[in-house]
Amino acid sequence: MINKRALFLNHVGQTSTFPLQLEVEKAEGMYIYDTQGKAYLDFNSGISVSSLGHCHPKVVAAIEKQAKQYMHTMVYGEHIQDPQILYASLISKHLDPSFSTTYFLNGGSEAVEAGLKIARRYTRRYEIVAASGAYHGSTIGAESLRSDRDFTKTFMPGVPGIKHIEFNYVNDLNKITEKTAAVIMEPVQGESGVITPKANYLNLVCQRCKEVGALFLLDEIQTGFGRTGSLFAHQKYEVVPDMIFIGKAMGAGMPISGVISRNEIMASITENPALGHITTFGGHPVCLAAAHAGLEILVSTDLIMQVSEKETLIHELLSHEIIKEIRSSGLMMAVELTKRKYLKHVVAKAMELGVIIDYFLFNDRSFRLAPPLIVSEEELRQGCGLLLEAMDYAQEQYK
Ligand SMILES: Cc1ncc(COP(=O)(O)O)c(C=O)c1O
């Protein structure tokens, strides 16, 4: 009998010395099942990806249909393919009319890279302003946007011309100047532990960008597709940036991402020189068929409208002595504990009890809660009950 764990440890690259090692057999709806038949309630959605749950039947059917018709035919936007045109036109109907054009890529970091290049080319400036505590991906350009020097110094030199301002700190906005090509931000900072924007902050950033001729880029990779209670967070916070990045939940479980902006801005990669950003697999028809099915579900059901009610219920259900606060924007939530040492016990015990939650990259006091939007009231009650049990357990470890 093959020992899958040994094969995994010996042959599959890992990013930490303590991988979860959940042996996945199948996943359906709210649940992931391991090879022993144990069901795990997924309260993490693979970090805000599986917002429609796992293997949604309409998404699977769209994938099957497209895979039988054609898969890869030609790279980067040369051929006219139904999945690309249907998706790009559908999403533009649900956005401000200025967001007319989508350029498709494969993953979030890649979309951010393309966006930075487009902004530099369009403005003919090179300085990029990012927010402290932001996360925009793992490629060298995206990593260079991180403010955490302890992490970035290990791969320096990064991309030059990047400076940081404090998120939510209006006095820093004068650091955005005529030299700035673009300001990039997450509308809600995810990896810092769900930091929401103060009232009107994003609009003030947007105004400052307009004053100095810089572009305002919003990274909606984690916040998009209903996660915060609106289709996109910039709609919830009532701001219209120059460009948005989408990914994660976009593909309803398939890898796909995009940069969306005005036609005239996107045109900067089409000439002088041509092929300003290219990708072999970006906009893959099978992934876009899945994305289209997913978007149709989101815009034709009341899943997004239910987000705020579910968010309130979680706040009510999760009451425990070791919870310091719960920060949230819709179903993008961080539960901060009173003591750092409780965290690993809560996450591990929850897993043992059959609920999947997760850590954040830059917040070691909080756990991440991001259930699929399809979660029912009953599943929320059941899952939160188990999380309370996991918190009791963590507390007991130090009595
Ligand atoms: C806000 C944000 N931007 C970019 C990324 C990078 O996306 P990917 O991992 O698909 O490259 C992430 C991933 O967590 C993210 O949360």
Minimum CA distance residue for ligand 1 atom 7:
108
Cβ of 108 closer than 6 Å to ligand 1, yes or no, is yes
Cβ of 50 closer than 6 Å to ligand 1, yes or no, is no
In the predicted model, is pLDDT for residue 1 greater than 80?
no
Cβ of 247 closer than 6 Å to ligand 1, yes or no, is yes
In the predicted model, is pLDDT for residue 2 greater than 90?
no
Q: Do residues 253 and 290 touch, judged by C-beta distance below 8 A?
A: yes
Cβ of 283 closer than 6 Å to ligand 1, yes or no, is no
Give first-to-last CA distance, the chain, whole Å: 43
What residues does 127 pair with on adjacent strands?
Answer: 180
For ligand 1, the distance from its centroid to the CA atom of residue 137, given in whole angstroms, is: 5
Counting ligand 1 atoms within 8 A of each CB, the residue from 139, 194, 222, 232 with the most, and so the one to mutate, is 222
In the predicted model, is pLDDT for residue 383 greater than 70?
yes
The pLDDT assigned to 363 comes to 95
Cβ of 84 closer than 6 Å to ligand 1, yes or no, is no
The label of the residue with tokens 């690993």 reads: 344
Per-domain residue ranges of the chain = 4-55+303-396, 57-300
| Whether domain 57-300 has CATH 2.130.10.10 | no
The pLDDT assigned to 175 comes to 98
Cβ of 222 closer than 6 Å to ligand 1, yes or no, is yes
Q: Taking Cα atoms as reference points, which of 302, 307, 295 lies closest to residue 369?
A: 307
What confidence category does residue 69 fall into, taking pLDDT thresholds of 50, 70 and 90? Answer: very high
CA distance 167 to 149: 17
Amino acid identity for residue 259 in this structure: V
CA distance 171 to 27: 47
Helices (H), 24-139: 45-48, 57-69, 82-93, 108-123
For ligand 1, the distance from its centroid to the CA atom of residue 320, given in whole angstroms, is: 31
CA distance 353 to 276: 50
pLDDT in tens, 83-98: 999 999 999 999 999 9
> Average pLDDT over the chain, rounded to whole?
96
pLDDT in tens, 260-297: 999 999 999 998 888 889 999 999 999 999 999 999 99
In the predicted model, is pLDDT for residue 189 greater than 70?
yes
Lowest-pLDDT range, 17-21, 216-220, 335-339, 379-383?
17-21
pLDDT in tens, 213-234: 999 999 999 999 999 999 999 9
- pTM here is 0.97
The pLDDT assigned to 99 comes to 98
pLDDT in tens, 45-68: 999 999 999 999 999 999 999 999
Total residue length of the chain = 399
In the predicted model, is pLDDT for residue 78 greater than 90?
no
Minimum CA distance residue for ligand 1 atom 2:
136
Identical topology for domains 4-55+303-396 and 57-300:
no
Chain center to CA of 265: 23
Cβ of 221 closer than 6 Å to ligand 1, yes or no, is yes
pLDDT in tens, 3-13: 999 999 999 99
For ligand 1, the distance from its centroid to the CA atom of residue 1, given in whole angstroms, is: 37
CA distance 229 to 150: 34
Minimum CA distance residue for ligand 1 atom 4:
136
For ligand 1, the distance from its centroid to the CA atom of residue 25, given in whole angstroms, is: 26
pLDDT above 70 covers what percent of the chain? Answer: 100
Higher pLDDT, 76 or 128: 128
The pLDDT assigned to 121 comes to 97
Q: Class of the 4-55+303-396 domain?
A: alpha beta
Helices and strands counted in the chain (H then E):
14, 14
In the predicted model, is pLDDT for residue 185 greater than 80?
yes
Mean pLDDT, to the nearest integer, of 343-358? Answer: 98
For ligand 1, the distance from its centroid to the CA atom of residue 248, given in whole angstroms, is: 7
Mean pLDDT, to the nearest integer, of 152-160? Answer: 89
Contacts with 251 (C-beta within 8 Å, 6 or more apart), sequence order: 49, 287, 290, 291, 294
Cβ of 141 closer than 6 Å to ligand 1, yes or no, is no
For ligand 1, the distance from its centroid to the CA atom of residue 188, given in whole angstroms, is: 13
In the predicted model, is pLDDT for residue 77 greater than 80?
no
Minimum CA distance residue for ligand 1 atom 8:
108
Counting ligand 1 atoms within 8 A of each CB, the residue from 106, 112, 136, 250 with the most, and so the one to mutate, is 136
The label of the residue with tokens 């006095």 reads: 171
The pLDDT assigned to 213 comes to 98
- In the chain, how long is the greatest CA-to-CA distance? 67
What confidence category does residue 74 fall into, taking pLDDT thresholds of 50, 70 and 90? Answer: confident
Mean pLDDT, to the nearest integer, of 318-334? Answer: 98
In the predicted model, is pLDDT for residue 206 greater than 90?
yes
Q: In what order do the strands lie in the sheet with 323-329?
A: 323-329, 332-337, 366-369
Mean pLDDT, to the nearest integer, of 348-374? Answer: 97
CA distance 16 to 26: 24
Minimum CA distance residue for ligand 1 atom 6:
137
Cβ of 219 closer than 6 Å to ligand 1, yes or no, is yes
